[in-house]
């Protein structure tokens, strides 16, 4: 069974075994507005928890996307290059960014579960 965790920078990671699928939250895509471009890391890139992983640009701004955990990029959602609007349409599904092979599952303990994340974003209003 997969488990989803969240960061204070509005990334999500869905864990399935030692693989994590990562994207930005629905809250983040709403704040960004219409996404027009995304820059994803290459397969094989090593990322560190909290480090730069990708860039997403919208009509409002460009934003860094940070790695919620450390690991190796094993797949990027290349369909976003032609259809970045998928992020707006389904941020938690088809709008995923990358899949990582996790380096240290212990890092997940630093992230929020769904209830904690909802409480966190409610406090931002």
**Domains in the chain, CATH or no CATH each:** 3-122 (2.40.50.100)
The Cα–Cα gap between 105 and 79 comes to 28
Q: pLDDT averaged over the chain?
A: 96
pLDDT at 59 over 80: yes
In this prediction, residue 125 has a pLDDT band, given cuts at 50, 70 and 90, of confident
Arithmetic mean of pLDDT, 85-104: 97
pLDDT at 1 over 80: no
The residue with tokens 């212990």 is 106
Q: Give the pTM.
A: 0.95
pLDDT at 90 over 90: yes
Arithmetic mean of pLDDT, 69-97: 97
Arithmetic mean of pLDDT, 43-57: 97
| Residues in Cβ contact with 92 at an 8 Å cutoff, skipping those fewer than 6 apart | 12, 23, 25, 26
pLDDT at 22 over 90: yes
């Amino acid at each position: 069974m997969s488990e989803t965790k969240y960061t204070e920078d509005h990334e999500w990671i869905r864990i399935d075994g030692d693989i994590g699928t990562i994207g930005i939250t629905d809250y983040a895509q709403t704040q960004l507005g219409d996404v027009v471009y995304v820059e994803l890391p290459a397969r094989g890139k090593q990322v560190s928890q909290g480090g730069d992983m990708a860039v997403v640009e919208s009509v409002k701004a460009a934003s860094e996307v940070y790695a919620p955990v450390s690991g190796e990029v094993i797949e990027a959602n290349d369909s976003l290059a032609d259809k970045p609007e998928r992020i707006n349409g389904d941020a938690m599904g088809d709008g995923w960014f990358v899949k990582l092979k996790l380096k240290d599952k212990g890092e997940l303990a630093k992230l929020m579960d769904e209830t904690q994340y909802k409480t966190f974003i409610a406090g931002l209003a």
